[in-house]
Structure 1
């Protein structure tokens, strides 16, 4: 069940990276796996400017070479498509299926309190990123200090409790 914090979050699924043809189609970079799964989630929230979202429905697309070509409602010519380059594509967190037990969407971890086995407060999760080998938790404490903690379950990440809003890690406060 989604709590209010999770219900109001958005998840970034892709971005518009170019135009395709002269009839308003765009090229997408999809962050979903498989990449065409981006069309399975609705509604899309287009973010042309930071913090300003426009809800659209009816986007359609197909694989085109190494990318994805898509048609969006209202994009009827090349100029309209060009004006969308750089637009980020989000969906409401509530549009995603519930993850399997023990799995989490990154957005669900953002804002959680992180503590180590000794009980030291290591701050809150600011965001996560993939370093190629695994995800990395980025935490910020009250003093603004940032920590990078490998998100490796059972090695560094000992438990995640969404209900309590807490992640327990095996990590020294001074690392």
Structure 2
């Protein structure tokens, strides 16, 4: 199997008693998740065909290939689903896959090292970059806005940040 895997969704549990699952889509256009099937487990060991059956609160009811009853559907709760990057659309210049940002170095506008992106979180009000500063145990959450993050250079693996005053002060 070639190429990197990008997380496109997750299973939130069973839906009904006939093997359907509750599916959360992480795609910009949620229904596009079906176009990227078959979807894979993170290790690539399991592959699932996917059919969206209807929209439900926070996602879709869906059928996964090989899942025929509620017990099998419940057993997949929490499973993250991945698609090979080459099946996904190219993004405009100002959009990024979360997977591309994790591990990137973060520097301020003067080039000083602020840390490394360890996660991208979204609590509904926009993405937050979770950054671990060098030698720090705590992390800092930086809102991922053009004002705070004027430059993302994927080829250099670097993010230039202009964080609000005091955000990266020593937690000493």
Q: TM-score range by the shorter chain?
A: 0.7 to 0.9
Question: In the aligned structure 1, how far is the partner of 2:23 from the partner of 2:123?
Answer: 23
1:131 deviates by 4.3
Q: 1:76 to 1:105 in 2, by over 3 A?
A: same
Question: In the aligned structure 2, how far is the partner of 1:58 from the partner of 1:82?
Answer: 17
Question: In the aligned structure 1, how far is the partner of 2:151 from the partner of 2:51?
Answer: 40
Matched, 1:59 2:54: no
Judge conservation of contact 1:130–1:136 (CA < 8 Å) in 2: yes
TM-score of the two chains, using structure 2 as the length reference: 0.80
For residue 61 of structure 2, give the secondary structure of its aligned residue in structure 1: strand
Q: Which runs of 4+ in 1 moved over 4 A?
A: none
1:76 deviates by 2.1
1:156 deviates by 1.6
| Deviation sequence 1:121-167 (CA, Å, 0-9, x none) | 011111111244332211113303422222111x2212111111111
| Deviation sequence 1:86-133 (CA, Å, 0-9, x none) | 222222333321111232222111111111112210111111112443
Q: CA RMSD in A?
A: 2.5
Aligned residues: 164
Q: Tell me what 1:46 maps to.
A: 41
1:64 deviates by 4.6
Name stretches of at least 5 consecutive residues in structure 2 with no aligned partner.
none
Matched, 1:107 2:99: yes
Matched, 1:28 2:23: yes
Q: Tell me what 1:78 maps to.
A: 70
Judge conservation of contact 1:36–1:62 (CA < 8 Å) in 2: no
Q: Tell me what 1:152 maps to.
A: 145
Judge conservation of contact 1:43–1:56 (CA < 8 Å) in 2: yes
1:13 deviates by 2.2
For residue 45 of structure 2, give the secondary structure of its aligned residue in structure 1: strand
1:53 deviates by 4.2
Question: In the aligned structure 2, how far is the partner of 1:103 from the partner of 1:16?
Answer: 25
Judge conservation of contact 1:36–1:63 (CA < 8 Å) in 2: no
TM-score of the two chains, using structure 1 as the length reference: 0.79
